[in-house]
Amino acid sequence: MSTPIRLFLFSTSLLVALTCLPRGPHASGTTRLKRVQTVVIDPGHGGDNLGAPSVAGGHEKTLTLAIAKKIERGLQRRTDSEVYLTRRDDRDLGLRERTRFANQVNADLFLSIHCNAAPHPRARGIEVYFLSAEASDEEAARLVEFENQRLERTAEPAAKDDREVSLLLKDLVLHSAVQDSAIFAGRLLDALVRRTGAPSRGVKQAPFEVLKEATMPAVVVEVGFISHPDEARELATPERQEDIAAAVVDAIISFDRTGRYR
């Protein structure tokens, strides 16, 4: 066999081998998502907005960022979705700014990560919220009042006719998104309780400002109480954070496969 032919065959074999290698952050064998192709993870609070203090030390803003980054890595390992974080460091963001970012990148799912707190140290467990005009109970109302404290001021409204048309179209989109949010909230709560063994506090509804402008399924998850001594210590460990991240990925894959979606 001549030297040019040998070189041609070697080059062809090398090219085939290289094209079979995993590309980017997603290795071979990952789950291909059909509907949830872009996910935005929102670590709650940040900067001067500390969130709730933990009885184990530190604040909510640090835990939510650590968990969000683990969710991002889990999604990149196990799925082919594109993942964005609303913040990657200790900075403050407006509540509406977070979902506006999700709208700008055409996200298919928005998940805001938070840690809960209560005046009495016995409260513990996981709860997931989706948007509604009113809180589902008094406890949800108190929580949403605390979380909505940082509401930013909006710009001047548009002209009346344009605003009415825009609101009508937006209502149609949001109605579908809220229905899907309720389904995903249930999948997420089930996955979190199964992975972590934490008590379930149910799926609830509340008028969270961070969810109000989302045009995709969007939920707030309270991953545990940092006012509870045991749960606060658990949430500070990489092991519990990894369990939470794995549960989020489980729920997203389940929702993608079987959930109703626009």
Strand order in the sheet with 200-206: 82-85, 38-43, 109-116, 218-225, 126-131, 200-206
Least confident of 16-30, 58-72, 205-219: 16-30
pTM above 0.85, yes or no: no
Quote the pLDDT of residue 207: 87
Quote the pLDDT of residue 132: 79
* pLDDT of 174 above 90: no
Left (φ > 0), alpha (ψ -120 to 50) or beta: where does 73 sit? alpha
Q: Is 233 helix (H, G, I), strand (E, B) or coil?
A: helix
Residue 178: partners with Cβ closer than 8 Å, 6 or more residues away: 130, 131, 132
| Residue type present at position 177 | A
Q: Is 83 helix (H, G, I), strand (E, B) or coil?
A: strand
Is 2 contained in some domain? no
Is 118 contained in some domain? yes
Quote the pLDDT of residue 93: 94
Quote the pLDDT of residue 176: 76
Domain residues for the domain of 152 are 29-258
The domain tally of the chain equals 1
Quote the pLDDT of residue 18: 30
Q: How far is CA 149 from each of CA 14, 50, 117, rounded to the nearest angstrom?
A: 58, 12, 15
Is 45 contained in some domain? yes
Is 224 contained in some domain? yes
- The whole-number average pLDDT for the span 62-81 is 98
Q: Where are the beta strands (DSSP E) in 132-211?
A: 200-206
Q: Is 111 helix (H, G, I), strand (E, B) or coil?
A: strand
- The whole-number average pLDDT for the span 194-200 is 98
Instruction: Kindly report the CATH number assigned to the domain that includes residue 181.
Output: 3.40.630.40
Strands 82-85 and 218-225: unpaired
Between vectors from CA 149 to CA 175 and to CA 47, what angle results, nearest 5°? 110
